Amino acid sequence: MPKVTIDGNVIEYEGREKLLQLCLDDGVELPHFCYHPSMSVPANCRQCLVEVGMPVKNRETGALEVDENGDPVIRFFPKLQTGCSMDVSDGMVVKTHRTSDLVKRAQKDNLEFLLVNHPLDCPICDQAGHCPLQIQAYKYGPEGSRFEFRKVKKPKRVKLGPRVMLDAERCINCTRCVRFTDEISKSHQLTIIARGVKNYPMTPPGMEFDDPYSMNTTDICPVGALTPANTRFQARQWEMAPTPSITTTNAKGANCFYWTRDNLIMKITPRQNLQVNEYWLPDEDRLVLDQFNNNRPEGPQVRADGGLQASTWDAATAAAADLLDAVDGSEILFVGSAYATVEDNYLLTKLASALGAATPVYLSHVETGHGDDWLRTDDRTPNTQGCERLGLTRTDAATLQAQLEEGAIKLVYVLEDDLVASGLAAGALDGVSVILHHYNTTNATLPAADVALPAAMVVETVGTFVSEDGHAQRVRPAKAIKGINRTLMMETGKSRTDMHGTPFDRWHNESHQVDCQPSWETLPAIAALLGHPMSYKGPKQIMAEVAANHDAFAGATYDAMGLEGVRLEEIGEAV
Amino acid sequence: MAADITKELSPLPDRTPEPAFSADELVWTAAEQEQMEVYKKRYPTNDGAIMRGLWLAQDKYGWLPPEVIRLVAETLEVPYAQVYGVATFYTQYFKERKGKYVLDVCTCFSCQVCGGYDMLHHLEEKLEIHVGETTEDGLFTLQEAECLGACGSAPMLQITNGSYLHNLTTKKLDTLIDGLREGKRVPFVSVTLPQDADDLDGNRRSDVKATDTYHAPPVAKTVK
Ligand code: SF4
Ligand code: FES
Ligand code: FES
């Protein structure tokens, strides 16, 4: 295999690689700003300069020339080269800042230049704490600047589009944002305008930066020039703890981090998964903070004296069990949910069959025309495939309504969905008992519920979702709920050790904890009261059982899914 | 509740400009359209033709308001944003309406020591405008330019991205302005370098009639 020598270490590589990418892949850190693995290489920031040389060959014989010690003679390029645009070739010798004072000096001087007109307003900048410019200036930059004249003024606090803020003074003109709209999202909405010290990215007149993927530019902007408008000034980076998970806005299963502070979800950012969403996340996936933080229920409720009254979990599960016990299995309609995890839906099917009820149905939430063949899908739920693979029957509000009007159904058990908001006439539930697992107090089916059991959302639970493409992925709790659950405690990622016991430790306070339960905890509790014990140690064991018993889930165990998921065998019919 | 310390947002610069040209005006003649096709064919990809296209449009409309830039983009089938970026990069593309004659007076180093600012100030007084402004009759726009590469015949100016006027004196400027006011352009005079005086018949530019030779340059008032 061809080899390159970087700072004296020999690295083997395959195929045509760029030097910077090779270094990154091999864990050799090299400072850089403009390079992004998925976009073209303009080599305009000049931060990745290195010394590059090639062994000298004898022109006639083609043999390598050696010095008196028998080492090959290396001829270095007279000037430093940008690693991002340099194709590696066999025998190449590279010196980074670790072995070359010249490179060290170049990095320092380059940073001094990049900072000439940079406002250095890190204390009020949302990017501070995760800013490549800040980090690299700290690691490789000069201690001060020789440029002591007045800095160039440019537009600040510009709302470039509905979701992206621009501070042009902070921009280092790496053109990543422009290349993103040109090469990745193809909306062509941005360009660098003007020239020299006056330039910055902008939309042309009469155009707004409203690309449905616009917020990705805020992730790849290596400075604080582009920041998300919705989370502006909400939290400092170091106050939040990230949890690797997936988004549930649609059926793509895009990988993300949920950033939590004090048990509130403060922001959602993409997490790299080359099989699913690469480096990107649609804007719609990031704008759903509200549903996790606001209008959350305060514990279970049971209908008494004509209204829903606050209750305890024990009393509420008992009430649910009583309602189920009072009717015949054939009179119960179980409604699963494409919003809920595979585990929860699976337990629901088990409960249904234990009680002799029909296989649960689930409502499909397809919005034709919403998808774009990329990371947005027509399906607005995360787990339609999971429901299909479990054998749930797809239905819609009209069918449900007709079924209820027939009068044979006495009890509807709704798992994490909203029948009324989906189009079922509220009156159709008159005279029918309703048990409802719900996320938000805005659930329109809630007024018809007899027992309301708050359910943990994707950011609070452990479970599996199967994307439209059959990618099975598990989620982890990003924030704590009120009840104590061993599995959730174990699954909650620990804070960074340097935050342990500080106000930024995610365990530090109990504020904003929602009194809800994962449905995989609620359902077995109800089943047990009905004499159908389901003894699982937790969702991991449930999923192992699903994977073992259902061919459609073969291989989807927690260990196999890990952080990047498992691609399941295709099943016959998809959405 | 903490005090609201957020500052007001800046609006996007010129986001919704009133169009200067109506839809009826925003069409190419058959000849222009044909010319655009020629430009397109000249380059491997259409974005190579952006500068040519903008130039043609500026010739036609006098300047490049957003709707004209968009017309160029549509004609060349390249993104509007990209064409806008190119148009803003070069000062020779006029993004605002200018006078009929745009006078770019060089005030870069060589011209400056030879009286570039004296020329500029003379024009400011004569035209009764400040640099960067356009006369009320819409005839002249006065601008400062950086080195236009004719330092040997400093001070100098350029007329509307076109011909140069070398070895400026206030008298020359008066003749220029008075002439242009009457619609008369001063003929272009090429300056011949001393070393060319004997060769080439003393005229490097075979395409121009009038030539002048190198003079010892004047010295700016402030330098004297
Ligand atoms: S705004 Fe950010 S991403 Fe765009 S050019 Fe400037 S520094 Fe680069
Ligand atoms: S990363 Fe190589 S020049 Fe910017
Ligand atoms: S300085 Fe004026 S032309 Fe060079």
Beta bridge partners of B157: B105, B165
Helix ranges (DSSP H) in chain B: 30-42, 50-61, 66-76, 80-89, 109-113, 116-127, 170-181
The residue among B46, B61, B89 that closes a domain is B89
Burial A352-365 (b: 16+ CB within 10 A, else e): beebebeebbbbbb
In a domain, B8, yes or no: no
Given this model, what pLDDT does residue B4 score? 63
Q: How far is residue A545's CA from residue A538's CA, in Å, rounded to a whole number?
A: 11
Q: What pTM did the predictor assign? A: 0.92
Regarding whether B175 and B118 lie in a shared domain, the answer is yes
User: Which ligand has its closest atom nearest to the C-alpha of A46?
Assistant: 2
In a domain, B10, yes or no: no
Regarding whether B192 and B127 lie in a shared domain, the answer is yes
In a domain, B194, yes or no: yes
Regarding whether B208 and B164 lie in a shared domain, the answer is yes
Regarding whether B190 and B107 lie in a shared domain, the answer is yes
**pLDDT beyond 60 at A355:** yes
What DSSP state is assigned to residue B119? H
Can you give the CATH number for the domain in which B40 is found?
Answer: 1.10.10.1590
The residue among B37, B64, B89 that closes a domain is B89
Regarding whether B175 and B105 lie in a shared domain, the answer is yes
**What is the percent of chain B with per-residue pLDDT over 70, rounded to a whole number?**
88
ipTM of this complex prediction, to 2 decimal places: 0.89
Q: What's the mean pLDDT in A458-466?
A: 96
In a domain, B218, yes or no: no
Regarding whether B205 and B150 lie in a shared domain, the answer is yes
The reply to whether ligand 2 has any atom less than 6 angstroms from the CB of A96 is no
Mutate to test the pocket of ligand 3, among B103, B104, B105, B108 (most ligand atoms within 8 A of CB): B108
Q: Find the angle CA(B153)-CA(B155)-CA(B161) to the nearest 5 degrees.
A: 90
**pLDDT beyond 80 at A496:** no
For residue B17, the chain A residues in CB contact (below 8 A) are 205-206
**CB interface of A with B, residues 312-371, below 8 Å:** none
Is A156's Cβ below 8 Å from some Cβ in B?
yes
Range of the domain at B69: 22-89
Answer yes or no: do A204 and B16 touch at CB < 8 A.
Answer: no
Those residues whose C-beta lies under 8 Å from the C-beta of residue A566, and which sit 6 or more positions away, are A471, A472, A473, A555, A556, A560
Regarding whether B113 and B60 lie in a shared domain, the answer is no
The reply to whether ligand 1 has any atom less than 6 angstroms from the CB of A176 is yes
pLDDT tens digit sequence for B18-58: 899 999 999 999 999 999 999 999 999 999 999 999 999 99
Quickly tell me which residue has 């990069």 as its tokens: B89
**What is the percent of chain A with per-residue pLDDT over 70, rounded to a whole number?**
96
pLDDT band at B223 (very low <50, low <70, confident <90, very high): confident
pLDDT band at A572 (very low <50, low <70, confident <90, very high): low
Cβ atoms A203, B12 nearer than 8 A:
yes
**pLDDT beyond 90 at A95:** yes
- Two tokens, residue A345: 């839906």
In a domain, B80, yes or no: yes
Regarding whether B139 and B168 lie in a shared domain, the answer is yes
Is B84's Cβ below 8 Å from some Cβ in A?
yes
Q: How far is residue A203's CA from residue B45's CA, in Å, rounded to a whole number?
A: 23
- State which H helix or E strand residue A334 sits in: strand A332-335
Those residues whose C-beta lies under 8 Å from the C-beta of residue A521, and which sit 6 or more positions away, are A483, A485
The residue among B64, B89, B114 that closes a domain is B89
Number of other CB atoms surrounding residue A8 within 10 Å: 10
Q: Which residue of B has its CA nearest to A165?
A: B9
Mutate to test the pocket of ligand 1, among A133, A202, A226 (most ligand atoms within 8 A of CB): A226
- State which H helix or E strand residue B143 sits in: strand B140-145
Chain A closest-CA separation from residue B111 CA (Å) = 23
- State which H helix or E strand residue A354 sits in: helix A342-354
- Two tokens, residue B172: 């020359």
The reply to whether ligand 2 has any atom less than 6 angstroms from the CB of A33 is yes
The reply to whether ligand 2 has any atom less than 6 angstroms from the CB of A136 is no
Regarding whether B107 and B84 lie in a shared domain, the answer is no
In a domain, B17, yes or no: no
Atom of ligand 1 nearest to the CA of A175: 5
**Among B132, B217, B130, B120, which Cα is nearest to B170's?**
B120
CA of A18 to the centre of ligand 2 (A): 11
Q: Which residue of A has its CA nearest to B9?
A: A157
Q: Please, which contacts does B22-29 make with residues 24 or more away whose CB atoms are closer than 8 Å?
A: B25/B61, B26/B67, B26/B68, B26/B71, B28/B75
Q: Write down the mean pLDDT value for chain A.
A: 93
The reply to whether ligand 1 has any atom less than 6 angstroms from the CB of A171 is yes
Answer yes or no: do A203 and B12 touch at CB < 8 A.
Answer: yes
Quickly tell me which residue has 């079924």 as its tokens: A403
CA of A216 to the centre of ligand 2 (A): 20
Name the least confident of A26-35, A408-417, A420-429, A496-505: A496-505
Given this model, what pLDDT does residue A339 score? 98
pLDDT tens digit sequence for A306-342: 899 999 999 999 999 999 999 999 999 999 999 999 9
pLDDT tens digit sequence for A216-264: 999 999 999 999 999 999 999 988 889 999 999 999 999 999 999 888 9
CA of A96 to the centre of ligand 1 (A): 25
Q: Which residue has the higher pLDDT, B187 or A174?
A: A174
**pLDDT beyond 50 at B90:** yes
Number of other CB atoms surrounding residue B195 within 10 Å: 8
Cβ atoms B185, B79 nearer than 8 A:
no
Is B2's Cβ below 8 Å from some Cβ in A?
no
Regarding whether B160 and B111 lie in a shared domain, the answer is yes
pLDDT tens digit sequence for A358-392: 999 999 999 999 999 999 999 999 999 999 999 99
**pLDDT beyond 80 at B195:** no
In a domain, B173, yes or no: yes
CA of B221 to the centre of ligand 3 (A): 17
Given this model, what pLDDT does residue A494 score? 65
Regarding whether B116 and B160 lie in a shared domain, the answer is yes
Answer yes or no: do A195 and B89 touch at CB < 8 A.
Answer: yes
Regarding whether B205 and B109 lie in a shared domain, the answer is yes
Please tell me the total count of domains within chain B.
2
Given this model, what pLDDT does residue B13 score? 58
For residue A206, the chain B residues in CB contact (below 8 A) are 15-17, 66, 70
In a domain, B2, yes or no: no
Is B77's Cβ below 8 Å from some Cβ in A?
no
pLDDT band at B202 (very low <50, low <70, confident <90, very high): low
State whether residue B132 is helix, strand or coil: coil
Can you give the CATH number for the domain in which B137 is found?
Answer: 3.40.30.10
Catalogue all structural domains in chain A, each as residue range(s) with its CATH number: 3-114 (3.10.20.740), 116-228 (3.30.70.20), 301-456+516-536 (3.40.50.740)
pLDDT band at A575 (very low <50, low <70, confident <90, very high): very low
The reply to whether ligand 3 has any atom less than 6 angstroms from the CB of B154 is yes
